[in-house]
């Protein structure tokens, strides 16, 4: 799947989940908490692809998300890719093929998803506001890059960086600490998981079973069979899937926000 579809799926899943919690578990969130969770989940849904590195020294290549903050995020991607490849070789069994890059390995596993969610929560709990501002800045940047890719492309990474910084600061100044912080970790974890599911419906598949060894393979790639798998960049993805995700996200958002708006104007339904 391409970046925008990943980001959109993260946003749609977070909004739908929030709507379900609101309806059935009586768990209500402020509009700002909702917006933060949605942005972090959309950004988190791009995060695993920060393992697609380019040539940092020549400022070339890399996934679109790796270019969010210019050469800085390209460098992060390079490091992530090398660590992933290291883990691949450290845990590979005799039937696992040789690889020369770490894309779609470590960052596309369940343990990584859990680690990211837990790590984010721990960072926020331990370092408080500065960790929150940093994480929000990073995730809002990824979300902008993913959700508004054409704008981000035209604006360039410097503008994306400035907008992310402003949004992170505004959010931080207005978000209550108690309930807002744990949600950030959860949104990150959910986002990464949604990314893995998104890649599973494409041909290449992901090593979702890692680290369970199967027939002398630790990195079994799991995905839909070629016949029904989604082709990356096809009309089914860029039109049908994205339209469906957008409708879902909008419906959930309306369902979440409408009751309080109606209440404010004293309208009974």
Binding interface with Zn ion (CB under 5 A): 49, 199
Q: How far is the CB of 59 from Zn ion (least distance, A)?
A: 22
DSSP E strand boundaries for 42-169: 54-55, 60-61
Q: What angle do CA 213, 214, 218 make, to 5 degrees?
A: 45
> CB-based burial of residue 212 (10 Å sphere; 0-12 exposed, 13-18 middle, 19+ buried)?
exposed
Q: How far lies 241's CA from each of 69, 75, 146, 252, in Å? A: 27, 31, 15, 17
Q: How far is the CB of 206 from Zn ion (least distance, A)?
A: 7
* Paired strand residues for 55: 60
Q: How far is the CB of 52 from Zn ion (least distance, A)?
A: 8
Residue 259: phi, psi to the nearest 5?
A: -55, -40
SS3 61: strand
Residue 179: phi, psi to the nearest 5?
A: -95, -20
Instruction: Give the pair of three-digit tokens for residue 162.
Output: 């400035």
In the complex with Zn ion, the residue whose CB is nearer, 19 or 49, is: 49
> CB-based burial of residue 102 (10 Å sphere; 0-12 exposed, 13-18 middle, 19+ buried)?
buried
Instruction: Give the pair of three-digit tokens for residue 87.
Output: 């883990």
Q: How far is the CB of 160 from Zn ion (least distance, A)?
A: 21
In the complex with Zn ion, the residue whose CB is nearer, 35 or 83, is: 83
Q: How far is the CB of 48 from Zn ion (least distance, A)?
A: 5
In the complex with Zn ion, the residue whose CB is nearer, 49 or 237, is: 49
Q: How far is the CB of 126 from Zn ion (least distance, A)?
A: 29
In the complex with Zn ion, the residue whose CB is nearer, 167 or 196, is: 196
């Amino acid at each position: 799947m391409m970046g925008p579809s990943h980001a959109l799926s993260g946003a749609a899943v977070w909004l739908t989940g929030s709507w379900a919690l609101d309806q059935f578990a009586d768990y209500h969130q402020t509009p700002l908490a909702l917006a933060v969770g949605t942005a972090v989940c959309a950004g988190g849904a791009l995060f695993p692809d920060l393992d697609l590195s380019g040539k940092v020294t020549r400022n070339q290549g890399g996934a679109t998300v790796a270019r969010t903050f210019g050469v800085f995020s390209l460098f992060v991607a390079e490091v992530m890719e090398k660590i992933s490849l290291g883990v691949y070789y450290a845990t590979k069994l005799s039937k696992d093929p040789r690889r020369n890059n770490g894309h779609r390995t470590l960052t596309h596993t369940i343990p990584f998803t859990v680690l990211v969610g837990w790590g984010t929560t721990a960072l926020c709990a331990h370092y408080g506001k500065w960790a929150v501002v940093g994480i929000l800045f990073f995730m809002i940047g990824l979300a902008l890059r993913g959700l508004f890719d054409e704008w981000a492309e035209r604006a360039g990474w410097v503008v994306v960086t400035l907008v992310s910084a402003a949004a992170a600061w505004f959010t931080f100044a207005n978000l209550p600490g108690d309930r807002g912080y744990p949600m950030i970790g959860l949104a990150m974890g959910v986002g990464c998981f949604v990314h893995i599911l998104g890649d599973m419906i494409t041909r290449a598949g992901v090593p979702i079973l890692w680290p369970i060894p199967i027939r002398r393979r630790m990195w079994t790639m799991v995905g839909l069979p070629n016949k029904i798998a989604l082709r990356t960049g096809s009309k089914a993805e860029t039109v049908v899937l994205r339209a469906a995700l957008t409708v879902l996200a909008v419906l959930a958002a309306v369902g979440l926000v409408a009751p309080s708006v109606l209440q404010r104007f004293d309208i009974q339904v």
